[in-house]
Amino acid sequence: MALLEVTNLKVHFHTRNGVVKAVDGVSFNVEAGQTLGIVGESGSGKSVCCYSLLGLVPQPPGRIEAGTALFDGEDLLRCSRRRLRQLRGNEIAVIFQDPMTCLNPYLTIGEQLIEPLLYHRKTPRKEARQQAVALLDEVGIRQPERRFDSYPHELSGGMRQRVMIAMALIAEPRLIICDEPTTALDVTIQAQILKLIKDLQHKRQVAVIFISHDLAVVSEVADHVLVMQNGRVVEQGEVAELFSNPSEAYTRKLIASIPDGAKSAAPERRELQPHPLVSVSHLRTWFRDHSIGLFSPAAAKAQRHIKALDDVSLRIERHEILGVVGESGSGKSTLGRAILGLAPVTDGRIIYDGRDITNLSARAMKPLRRRMQMIFQDPYASLNPRMTIFETLAEPLLVHGLANRRTVAAQVLALMDDVGLVRTCIRKYPHEFSGGQRQRIAIGRAIATRPEFIVADEPVSALDVTIQAQILDLILDLVARHDLTMMFISHDLGVVRYIADRVLVLHRGQVVEEGDTGKVWAAPQAEYTRELLQAIPRLAHVQP
Amino acid sequence: MSTDAPHTGQLPDDAEQGTSLWADAWARLRKNRLALFGLGVIIFLCVVSLLTPWIAPYGYEQQNLALGATPPSWQHWFGTDIFGRDLLTRVMWGGRMSLMVGFVATGVALVIGVLWGTVAGYAGGRVDAVMMRLVDILYALPFMIFIILLMVVFGRNIILLFLAIGAVEWLTMARIVRGQVQSLRRQEFIEAAHSLGLSRWRIIRKHLIPNSLGPVIVYTTLTIPSVMLLEAFLSFLGLGVQPPESSWGLLINNGVETMEEYPWLLIFPGLALAITLFSLNFLGDGLRDALDPRSSKD
């Protein structure tokens, strides 16, 4: 008998605008010592499905309409709240996506770690501490004795996720639900965490439900995979079978959407011109470290600056797409912003089209703003929620005098056509759109002034895979049609390989490698690049 | 309004005005009955106040000592006070004063507070530090001493009343707005506005202020009644309104003293203030929702 047997689970949300069938008749089994991967795009119901088992779906508006979920013979959907509380943390544990928001910033990690022991098991404090320290050691935290008394903000993202895993394991549960546990982490850290989860699972023989939007990640950890769409199971099967031979169209579409392979038709048209569009030499951006005060040790004072960018030089030729790759904290976003004059420059020079634009005043910069634009990562934050699409797109046109009140409407409509938005949406507000549509709006705003240079900062990271593929193709199309030059910043190497002509690898504010995308992938020169490339999760079972 | 016009390829007529946040807000507000009711009551009170010199049944200082305090009757709908003055007339004249103080002082506080807070929050750094320390210093100034100083220097004056009240109320407003703006400033859409080359003033006007309106409106609706009560307190101290002129605060103050013998002297001015307060709150809530495009699904 399986450890968890879910049959015909239905969870509906009763909202003012009608019933949303978040989970609509889902059945699956999880065996002890096995991993079930649940894959789906946002809104597919993959998280709701698991949270409803634990009574973590807010009711109302949520309601469990039908189904059974037998956990070791006990129906989770019909348990009392009290019993569910006992099960949570004790028998079933959850690892959440964002390790920062899931830890209480006011308690030491040790205190949070032993809480379930003190509460569920009534373990004496001293013993609990010993167990916790041993566990911290097991999840790969160095100096566990010392770290026990650290506060969450003193740990890096990867370390915090290790702590979260330790928290999940401390009560020795039989089932662990991982909800996108590595999505907020860098690739190299992600690889470590995935390995850790796999190792611990084999050692302890627990069952794992691994929820992710990333097929490659799931293919690496799961034994059995469930593909969900719109609250229904599209397809399920053994991981090797499912990925090598998907029977459903949706699964095939998901697999096809993964940016895979190099940029098609590498444009050989770019002949090296004597003057690149952008040239950056010895750029430094140092931020003052405010955590270092008057009384800090002298050693700390000697390096009182955070070196976001440290001696970065680069050239961007006309009509090329330069990919900038790096992990969080590598300075890649700062680099893009510094070029556009949105981040300070401590030292070095930025030449744009033959003109020195380093630390130019806002006034002097304004005529140039029309020619250089930016696309931001989060389409939810980069649009003013109180402006309609019309206002958002009309603003750059009016400010730069590219349209007058009579012609602006026609120009906005043309822009909307250009980025693939339906004309009838013109009076809507950002919150009425999906992530992909919002990113189209943001792209429309960036190309409104007909710029020649665009910095795109992780423009597809917040999007689902199928949407990501559409937006990438839109960007490629616009670059070709409008003769754009682009700096494409991303942590996702697959995406960069798909879109960039040349690539620049940043590590701790320094350029570690630069070259044509194809060459860097085929023969990476720097050690760090090799590490990065190895860490990319791949669809393990698909023949190339 | 053209909100019901079919949204097909054709642009709505008012789209070119660039004021659609306000146009849409009005369209949404019109669907909120409670808010409309509040708006109606406030307009009614304002109209009555404006017309008081012509429509009041008696003179506000017209005494009838022989009559004394009488309960409501057909001659005197709200009754009369101990000097035999018609209470309805005095409530109407009092409303003039109270509403004027409430709206003008709050308006002044709103304009100064929002601008000050936005500029401080947006500029950040040293500018912010200096501006907010000034606010702190004004906060720290004891209100009573401040008012006594004003009285000593300028004597009793109705303009001083606005000044004194405005001077305290904008401080809190500035702090609220600054907090809002500080968190907004880090959002990507503000950075996007920078990269579009918008002027700072336009960013403040079009992007920052509209997005910090929610708490501002709620606080404003709370400020108006508190300003009215503050006026009563100041009048009690001798700054501001003096009998035989009246204001709601003053009437309530006097009413409290004779509450046991002549309850109507407290009830009617109290009711007037309460109704104003309710209406303002309904309107404020409605406005806050109306100005947030995310709040309604239609």
Contacts of A475 (CB under 8 A, 6+ apart): A443, A456, A459, A486, A488, A499
On whether both A501 and A447 belong to a single domain, the answer is: yes
Tokens of B56: 């009041």
On whether both A180 and A127 belong to a single domain, the answer is: no
CATH number of the domain encompassing residue A410: 3.40.50.300
pLDDT in tens, B267-283: 888 888 889 888 988 88
Distance from CA of A176 to the nearest CA of B (A): 35
Interatomic CA distance for residues A320 and A483, integer angstroms: 9
pLDDT in tens, A520-539: 888 888 888 888 888 877 77
pLDDT of A420 reads 87
Domain-embedded: residue A296: no
Domain-embedded: residue B13: no
- To the nearest 10 degrees (0 to 180), the angle between helices B213-237 and B264-290 is 160
On whether both A16 and A74 belong to a single domain, the answer is: yes
Domain final residue pick, A156, A172, A188: A172
Domain-embedded: residue A266: no
Name the least confident of A268-272, A365-369, A473-477. A268-272
pLDDT of B4 reads 38
Residue A539 has a CB neighbour count (10 Å cut-off) of 19
B195·A400 Cβ contact <8 A: no
On whether both A393 and A337 belong to a single domain, the answer is: yes
A445·B187 Cβ contact <8 A: no
Query: By the CB < 8 Å criterion, does A102 face chain B?
Result: no
Domain-embedded: residue B7: no
Q: Are B60 and B88 in contact (CB under 8 A)?
A: no
Strand partners, A12: A21, A63
A153 compared with A352, residue with greater pLDDT = A352
Domain-embedded: residue A517: yes
pLDDT of A324 reads 92
- Whole domain around residue A140: which residue ranges? 103-172
Decide if pLDDT at A487 tops 90.
Answer: yes
Contacting residues of A for B197, CB less than 8 Å apart = 365-366, 369-370, 396, 399-400
Domain-embedded: residue B10: no
On whether both A158 and A54 belong to a single domain, the answer is: no
Identify residues of B whose CB sits under 8 angstroms from chain A CBs: 7-9, 11-12, 15-16, 18, 20-21, 24, 187-189, 191-200, 202, 206-207, 210-211, 291-294, 297
Domain final residue pick, A127, A153, A172: A172
A415 compared with A162, residue with greater pLDDT = A415
Phi-psi label, residue A508: left if phi above 0, alpha if psi -120 to 50, beta otherwise? left
On whether both A362 and A499 belong to a single domain, the answer is: yes
pLDDT in tens, A232-255: 888 888 888 888 888 888 888 888
Domain-embedded: residue A267: no
Domain-embedded: residue A247: yes
pLDDT (mean) for B63-92: 78
Q: Is there a cis peptide before residue A60, judged by omega within 30 degrees of 0?
A: yes
The amino acid at residue A236 is Q
Domain-embedded: residue B90: yes
pLDDT in tens, A283-328: 888 877 655 555 555 555 555 667 788 888 998 988 889 999 988 7
A386·B210 Cβ contact <8 A: yes
Predicted complex: ipTM over 0.85? no
Domain-embedded: residue B19: no
Q: Is there a cis peptide before residue A344, judged by omega within 30 degrees of 0?
A: no
Domain final residue pick, A172, A203, A233: A172
Residue A426 pLDDT grade (very low, low, confident, very high; cuts 50, 70, 90): confident
On whether both A239 and A378 belong to a single domain, the answer is: no
Domain-embedded: residue A295: no
pLDDT in tens, B156-198: 777 777 777 877 888 989 999 999 898 888 888 888 888 888 8
B152 compared with A334, residue with greater pLDDT = A334
Decide if pLDDT at A95 tops 70.
Answer: yes
- Whole domain around residue B107: which residue ranges? 34-290
Percent of chain A with pLDDT over 90: 8
pLDDT in tens, A202-214: 888 888 889 888 8
Mutant choice from A378, A427, A445, A453 vs B, greatest count of B C-beta within 10 A? A427
Decide if pLDDT at B6 tops 60.
Answer: no
B16·A449 Cβ contact <8 A: no
Domain-embedded: residue B8: no
Interatomic CA distance for residues A205 and A203, integer angstroms: 6
On whether both A482 and A494 belong to a single domain, the answer is: yes
Decide if pLDDT at B9 tops 50.
Answer: no
Interatomic CA distance for residues B133 and B117, integer angstroms: 12
Residue of A nearest to B212 (CA): A386
pLDDT of A445 reads 92
CATH number of the domain encompassing residue B283: 1.10.3720.10
DSSP A254-310: HHHHS--SSPSS--TT-PPPSS-SEEEEEEEEEEE-TT--TTS-HHHHHT-EEEEEE
Tokens of A141: 């935290």
Tokens of B49: 């106040």
On whether both A180 and A121 belong to a single domain, the answer is: no
pLDDT (mean) for A87-100: 78
Strand partners, A309: A285
Apex A46 CA angle, A42 and A47, nearest 5: 90
Domain count, chain A: 3
Domain count, chain B: 1
Percent of chain B with pLDDT over 70: 89
On whether both A161 and A185 belong to a single domain, the answer is: no
On whether both A49 and A111 belong to a single domain, the answer is: no
On whether both A184 and A165 belong to a single domain, the answer is: no
Domain-embedded: residue B22: no
Query: By the CB < 8 Å criterion, does A395 face chain B?
Result: yes
A236 compared with A453, residue with greater pLDDT = A453
Domain-embedded: residue A514: yes
